[in-house]
């Protein structure tokens, strides 16, 4: 049964990946462009210096952070990214005890996407049965169906436990294809993001 599930997952991911891609020379050119775009990014896990990007607003006194996150904001990784970040290329850090609001927009022209904060994993499954976020409220509605292109959602949660987590898309095939980034909750410090 496990072998069948693995084969089925591989076929599903390959099919989903192909649905969003292009054929012929145009597709090869787009793939090359996407690869060139990622060469400036650090290797997964390496990350650049943390800063406060324009899509993040921090109020240290009130212990709040607001993020405007777009799925598919660029064509990098076949539009399967969060603000252009994917598969460990970039990360987000928030101190424990902060209230986090994420204003989510699906800017992908063709595919639905979702967003949730989950436990960090070495590898992601092709499908999720009933995803449970790491923090209460840290997941968009209908996460395995996703938010349609052009759609929006807003979530608010409290980072009540320090640790290593991930921002992830739960739509089948998306996380395993790289639609996830590290989301770290620190013991102290200032919220920020590494976009390298």
* pLDDT tens figures, 117-176: 999 999 999 999 999 999 999 999 999 999 999 999 999 999 999 999 999 999 999 999
Q: Is 120 exposed, middle or buried (0-12, 13-18, 19+ CB in 10 A)?
A: middle
27 or 81, which is more confident?
A: 81
- What pLDDT is stored for residue 195 in this prediction? 80
Question: Region 164-193: what's the mean pLDDT?
Answer: 96
Residue 28 lies in a domain: yes
Check pLDDT > 70 for residue 9. no
143 within some domain: yes
What's the confidence (pLDDT) of residue 30? 37
- Residue 13: per-residue pLDDT: 46
68-to-7, 23, 32, 34, 98 alpha-carbon distances in Å: 37, 33, 28, 23, 16
In the prediction, which pLDDT does 49 show?
Answer: 82
Please work out, in degrees rounded to the nearest 5, the angle formed at the alpha carbon of residue 169 by the alpha carbons of 81 and 63: 85
Residues linked to residue 102 through DSSP beta bridges, in sequence order: 67, 155
Q: What is the DSSP string of 75-100?
A: SGGGG-SBTTBBTTBSEEEEETT-EE
Burial class from Cβ neighbours inside 10 Å (0-12, 13-18, 19+) for residue 195 reads buried
Query: Is residue 55 in a domain?
Result: yes
> At CA 122, angle to CA 174 and CA 101, rounded to 5?
60
Q: Is the pLDDT of residue 29 over 70?
A: no
Tell me if 115 is assigned to some domain: yes
For residue 18, give its domain range.
2-38+48-194
In a domain, 43, yes or no: no
List the structure tokens of 135. Answer: 């923090």
C-alpha to C-alpha distance for 120 and 184, rounded to whole angstroms: 9
173 burial (CB, 10 Å; 0-12 / 13-18 / 19+) is buried
pTM of the shown model: 0.76
Mean pLDDT across 167-192: 96
pLDDT tens for 56-86 read: 999 999 999 999 999 999 999 999 999 999 9
Residue 142 lies in a domain: yes
What's the order of all strands across the beta sheet hosting 56-59? Answer: 56-59, 64-71, 99-106, 152-158
61 is a domain residue:
yes
What is d(CA 9, CA 152) in angstroms, rounded to the nearest whole number?
Answer: 28
pLDDT above 90 as % of the chain: 71
Cβ neighbours around 39 below 10 Å, total: 6
How many domains does the chain contain in total? 1
- Would 177 be classed as within a structural domain? yes
pLDDT score for 88: 74
Q: With 80 as the cut, is the pLDDT of residue 91 above it?
A: yes
Domain of residue 58, CATH code:
2.60.40.420
Give the residue, 98 or 7, on which the prediction is more confident: 98
């Amino acid at each position: 049964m496990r072998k069948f599930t693995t084969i089925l997952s591989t076929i599903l991911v390959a099919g989903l990946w192909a649905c969003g891609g292009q054929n012929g020379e145009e597709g090869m050119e787009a793939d090359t462009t996407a690869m060139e775009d990622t060469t400036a990014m650090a290797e997964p896990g390496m990350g650049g210096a943390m800063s406060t990007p324009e899509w993040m607003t921090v109020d240290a006194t009130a212990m709040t952070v607001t993020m405007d996150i777009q799925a598919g904001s660029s064509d990098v990784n076949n539009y399967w990214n969060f603000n252009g970040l994917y598969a460990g290329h970039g990360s987000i850090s928030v101190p424990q005890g902060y209230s986090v609001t994420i204003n989510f927009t699906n800017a992908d022209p063709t595919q639905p996407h979702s967003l949730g904060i989950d436990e960090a994993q070495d590898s992601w499954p092709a499908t999720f049965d009933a995803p449970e976020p790491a923090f209460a409220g840290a997941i968009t509605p209908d996460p395995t169906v996703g938010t349609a292109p052009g759609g929006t959602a807003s979530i608010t949660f409290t980072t009540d436990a320090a640790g290593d987590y991930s921002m992830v898309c739960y739509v089948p095939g998306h996380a395993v294809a790289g639609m996830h980034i590290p989301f770290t909750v620190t013991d102290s410090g200032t919220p920020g993001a590494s976009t390298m």
